[in-house]
């Protein structure tokens, strides 16, 4: 770990107030955030405080930024998983396009589905995000086995019948 430097924050609360807020936290996640503030308030570097609490430097820096801008109440009101609202939503039209292309066997990969949705709605999905979306739509990767261009279907059927 790097040496880090001490944070320059305009503290709105004393150590005693932060300690009391920590003791009265309703859940573990809120307690971790308040304890992070308290440790930095006591003079620990961000990286040392994050390591002591088992969290990332980035998360701790985000909590400090939020505290500096909006205060302790904003830090306490945070909830786990704050990126849920950033997930693009499929429109009904894009969902129908995916279902149609899937039934036609044209969606062989998640990348194909990403391209189809981007062409239809302009939404940009990652491949992993599209896999999750396809899973929620109960769509599977099962596609017909590819056939060679020169294959003669009639001769293959005759051979299978013993001819």
Give the separation between CA 62 and CA 30, rounded to whole angstroms: 14
- Which position has the token pair 């599209």? 130
Assign 88 a pLDDT band (cuts: 50, 70, 90).
low
User: Average per-residue pLDDT in the chain?
Assistant: 84
Its sign, for the CA torsion 95, 101, 103, 109, is negative
Extents of the domains making up the chain: 15-76, 87-136
For the entire predicted model, the pTM comes to: 0.48
Q: Are 132 and 115 in contact (CB under 8 A)?
A: no
pLDDT in tens, 31-83: 999 999 999 999 999 999 999 999 999 999 999 999 998 889 988 888 765 55
């Amino acid at each position: 770990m790097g040496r880090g430097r001490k944070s320059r924050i305009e503290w709105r609360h004393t150590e005693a107030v932060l300690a009391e807020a920590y003791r009265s936290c309703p859940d573990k996640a809120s307690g971790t955030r308040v304890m992070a503030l308290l440790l930095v308030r006591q003079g620990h570097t961000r990286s040392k405080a994050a390591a002591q609490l088992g969290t990332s430097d980035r998360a701790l820096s985000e909590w400090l930024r939020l505290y500096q801008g909006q205060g302790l109440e904003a830090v306490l009101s945070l909830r786990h998983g704050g990126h849920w609202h950033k997930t693009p939503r499929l429109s009904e039209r894009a969902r129908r396009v995916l279902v149609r292309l899937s039934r036609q066997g044209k969606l062989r990969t998640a990348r194909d589905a990403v391209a189809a949705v981007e062409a239809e709605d302009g939404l940009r999905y990652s491949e992993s995000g599209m896999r999750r979306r396809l899973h929620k739509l109960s769509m599977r990767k099962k596609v017909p086995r590819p056939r060679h261009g020169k294959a003669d279907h009639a001769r293959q059927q005759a051979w299978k019948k013993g001819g």
